[in-house]
C-alpha cells in the first residue's frame, strides 16, 4: 500500500510538473522579439487602429466618443462572459504604464505584463501576424488618446475555463507565433489585403466556425458560423456562390466603405461597428482587402 501511494504521489507530482511546464507563459515566444527601432509613425498607427477595430470592443459603452477606450463591453460566449478591459493610456487603469515591448508581447503572444495568459477572446491568434512596426506605431497612437479612469470587472467563466493557466495548452494547439509572410507570386495589393484580413482586421475570428476547444476549423476558415453571442449566424465570406462568389471586388470594397450590399441592403449587428472602422481606412486598403477576399477558395457555409 505504501508503494502504491508513493507511486500515485510521484505520478501526481509529474503530472502537475508537466502541466506547469506546458502551460507556462514563458513557453510562448511570440512577441518577445525586439521592438523595431525608430520614431513611431502616428499616421500609420491610426490606420492600424482602424484596421484592427480597437474601438469596436474597447470604447466605453454608453458614450459617443469611439476614442475613449475605457472598456466595459460584455462579450458573451459558450465559454462564459468576457469583460473587455480598459486600454486607454491611463497609467493605472489602462495601458499607460506599459512599455512598447509589453504591448507587443500582449498582442502577439497573449501574455500580460505581469506574466499571465490572456484569453483568446482577445484575438491575438490573428494579431500574431502583425509586424513589429505596426505594433510599435499602434501603441504610440493609443498613447495620444484620452485617458479613461476605471478598472473593468473580471471575466465570468465557469470551471474549467476559469483556470487561466490552462490557456497554455490552447496556445500550443492554436498559436504558432509566425508573422505574415508575403507571397512573392502575388501582387503588392493582394499581399496588403491578405495582411490586413488575416492580421489586424482578424476577419476569420468571427467569420469561421470553431471546434469544441474554441479554435478555428482550418478547413472551413471564413465559411461563417454561429454568432458567438447566440444571436443568428455570421456569414460565409468565401467565394462560394452562396457567399461572396457573385460579388465583384468593387462591391466588396464598397461594403467596407459604406456598409451597403450590391442589393442596396445595409449590414447591421456586430458588422456595423466594423464598417465604422473600415470606412476610415485609405481606399487602397479597402481595395486590397477586397482583392484578397475575392481570392479565397469557395467553401460551403458551416451548418
Task: Please report the DSSP string for 95-157 in residue order.
Answer: STT--HHHHHHHHHH-B-TTS-BPPTTS-HHHHTTS-HHHHHHHHHHHTTSPP---PPPPPB-
Looking at the fold, whether 110 and 228 belong to one and the same domain comes out as no
What is the C-alpha to C-alpha distance for residues 1 and 11, in angstroms, rounded to an integer?
15
Residue 56 has pLDDT above 80, yes or no: yes
Pick from 118, 145, 179: which residue ends a domain?
Answer: 179
Residue 11 has pLDDT above 70, yes or no: no
Looking at the fold, whether 175 and 186 belong to one and the same domain comes out as no
Least confident of 52-61, 126-135, 141-150, 211-220: 211-220
The answer to whether residue 20 is domain-embedded is no
CATH number at residue 248: 1.10.760
The answer to whether residue 6 is domain-embedded is no
Looking at the fold, whether 190 and 296 belong to one and the same domain comes out as yes
Least confident of 44-48, 208-212, 253-257: 208-212
pLDDT at 242: 87
pLDDT at 268: 79
Least confident of 135-149, 180-194, 208-222: 208-222
- Report the share of the chain in percent with pLDDT over 70: 91
Looking at the fold, whether 97 and 146 belong to one and the same domain comes out as yes
Q: What is the pLDDT of residues 97-135, one digit of tens each?
A: 999 999 999 999 999 999 999 999 999 999 999 999 999
**Three-state DSSP class for residue 205:** helix
Residue of higher predicted confidence among 231 and 106: 106
Looking at the fold, whether 191 and 273 belong to one and the same domain comes out as yes
Residue 259: phi and psi, rounded to 5, are 85, 5
Looking at the fold, whether 35 and 164 belong to one and the same domain comes out as yes
pLDDT at 269: 80
pLDDT at 263: 86
Q: Cα torsion at 251, 257, 261, 262 (round to 10°)?
A: -30
pLDDT at 14: 47
Looking at the fold, whether 93 and 197 belong to one and the same domain comes out as no
Host domain of residue 96: 27-179
The answer to whether residue 238 is domain-embedded is yes
Looking at the fold, whether 34 and 115 belong to one and the same domain comes out as yes
The answer to whether residue 18 is domain-embedded is no
Looking at the fold, whether 188 and 295 belong to one and the same domain comes out as yes
Helix axes 100-109, 132-142, angle to 10 degrees: 120
Pick from 141, 162, 179: which residue ends a domain?
Answer: 179
Q: What is the mean pLDDT of residues 35-44?
A: 96
Pick from 179, 204, 224: which residue ends a domain?
Answer: 179
Nearest to 28 by CA among 160, 176, 132, 250: 176
When divided into structural domains, the chain yields a total of: 2
Q: What is the mean pLDDT of residues 90-95?
A: 96
pLDDT at 195: 98
The answer to whether residue 8 is domain-embedded is no
pLDDT at 270: 81
The answer to whether residue 14 is domain-embedded is no
Residue 280 has pLDDT above 80, yes or no: yes
Looking at the fold, whether 162 and 212 belong to one and the same domain comes out as no
pLDDT at 31: 82
What is the C-alpha to C-alpha distance for residues 204 and 43, in angstroms, rounded to an integer?
26
Residue 303 has pLDDT above 90, yes or no: no
pTM of the model: 0.90
Looking at the fold, whether 243 and 271 belong to one and the same domain comes out as yes
pLDDT at 265: 85
Looking at the fold, whether 31 and 173 belong to one and the same domain comes out as yes
Contacts of 12 (CB under 8 A, 6+ apart): none
For residue 76, the surrounding DSSP H or E stretch is strand 74-77
Amino acid at each position: 500500500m505504501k508503494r502504491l501511494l508513493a507511486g500515485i504521489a510521484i505520478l501526481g507530482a509529474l503530472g502537475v510538473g508537466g502541466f506547469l511546464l506546458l502551460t507556462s507563459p514563458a513557453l510562448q515566444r511570440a512577441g518577445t522579439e525586439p521592438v523595431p527601432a525608430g520614431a513611431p509613425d502616428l499616421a500609420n498607427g491610426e490606420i492600424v487602429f482602424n484596421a484592427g477595430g480597437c474601438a469596436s470592443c474597447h470604447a466605453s459603452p454608453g458614450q459617443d466618443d469611439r476614442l475613449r477606450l475605457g472598456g466595459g463591453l460584455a462579450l458573451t460566449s459558450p465559454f462564459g462572459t468576457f469583460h473587455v478591459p480598459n486600454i486607454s493610456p491611463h497609467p493605472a487603469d489602462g495601458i499607460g504604464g506599459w512599455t512598447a515591448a509589453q504591448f507587443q508581447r500582449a498582442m502577439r503572444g497573449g501574455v500580460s505584463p505581469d506574466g499571465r495568459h490572456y484569453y483568446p477572446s482577445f484575438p491575438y491568434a490573428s494579431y500574431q501576424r502583425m509586424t513589429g512596426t505596426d505594433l510599435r506605431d499602434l501603441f504610440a497612437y493609443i498613447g495620444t488618446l484620452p485617458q479613461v479612469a476605471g478598472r473593468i470587472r473580471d471575466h465570468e467563466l465557469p470551471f474549467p475555463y476559469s483556470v487561466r493557466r490552462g490557456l497554455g495548452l490552447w496556445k500550443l494547439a492554436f498559436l504558432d507565433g509566425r508573422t505574415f509572410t508575403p507571397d512573392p507570386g502575388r501582387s503588392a495589393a493582394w499581399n496588403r489585403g491578405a495582411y490586413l484580413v488575416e492580421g489586424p482586421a482578424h476577419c476569420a475570428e468571427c467569420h469561421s466556425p470553431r471546434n469544441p476547444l474554441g479554435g478555428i476549423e482550418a478547413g472551413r476558415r471564413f465559411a461563417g458560423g454561429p454568432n458567438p453571442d447566440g444571436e443568428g449566424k455570421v456569414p460565409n465570406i468565401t467565394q462560394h456562390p452562396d457567399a461572396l462568389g457573385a460579388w465583384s471586388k468593387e462591391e466588396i470594397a464598397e461594403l467596407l466603405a459604406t456598409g451597403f450590399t450590391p442589393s442596396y441592403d445595409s449590414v447591421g449587428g456586430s458588422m456595423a461597428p466594423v464598417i465604422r472602422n473600415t470606412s476610415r481606412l485609405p481606399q487602397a486598403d479597402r481595395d486590397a482587402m477586397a482583392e484578397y477576399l475575392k481570392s479565397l477558395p469557395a467553401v460551403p457555409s458551416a451548418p
